[in-house]
Amino acid sequence: MKDSHGMTPIVKTVTRVSVWLILLYGCYIILHGHLTPGGGFAGGVVIALAFLNVMLAYGKSFTAEWLNIRLLKDIEAASITLFLVLGLLGIAFGNAFLANFLGKGEMFSLFSSGTIPLFNIIIGIKVALSLFLVVWVLADIDSAKGGDL
């Protein structure tokens, strides 16, 4: 099993469909974090697993073409800054760091509970990208030693 080849065509065909479903599920869990069980961390792990699915099925070189790894690294570093900026906006509008300064909205609706969904989205991006990048770098080490993946 070489780098560029990935797994069998059966796995590749299934992956082609399943990746989008997994990504959709991850986005659903992140966006509904303030309504149903789950949230940023769980949804982020789901999205990281979707990227991992592509990497295992298609190999590293295809994934490097499919995803812009440099951009992912930048977004990963920027997401924590975004978290802090949102916290500082709480000082500006809500008198306290990380204050919930947006309107509470109607309960059980998607756009409710102020900044909680925004924090969920930021944490989701952060967790998804950092977990995926760790696997990416580990796989690099593996292939440098002569292993596959």
Partner 1 sequence: MPIESWLIYTLGIMLLGSIVALEIRDILSAIIAIGIVGLAVSAAFLFLQAPDLAIVQFLFEIFALVILVRAFIGKKAHADTLSIHKVYAFLVALALVAFFFLFTPVFRSLPPFGEPLLTTSSHYLTHGPQETGAANIVASIVLDYRAYDTMGEVTVLFTAILGALTVLRMSRQTQKGREPK
Q: Which amino acid is at 98?
A: L
d(CA 142, CA 149): 7
d(CA 24, CA 29): 9
Q: Is 57 in the site for partner 1 (CB under 8 A)?
A: no
Q: Identify which of residues 12 and 101 has a Cβ nearer to partner 1 in the complex.
A: 101
d(CA 127, CA 59): 22
d(CA 74, CA 129): 10
Q: Exactly one of 23, 45, 57, 72 binds partner 1 (CB under 8 A); which one?
A: 45
Q: Exactly one of 31, 35, 67, 89 binds partner 1 (CB under 8 A); which one?
A: 35
Q: Is 138 in the site for partner 1 (CB under 8 A)?
A: yes
Q: Which stretch binds partner 1 (CB under 8 A): 2-10, 13-21, 64-72, 93-101?
A: 93-101
Asked whether the CA dihedral 28, 31, 35, 41 is positive or negative, the reply is positive
Q: Is 72 in the site for partner 1 (CB under 8 A)?
A: no
Q: Which stretch binds partner 1 (CB under 8 A): 7-15, 49-57, 58-66?
A: 49-57
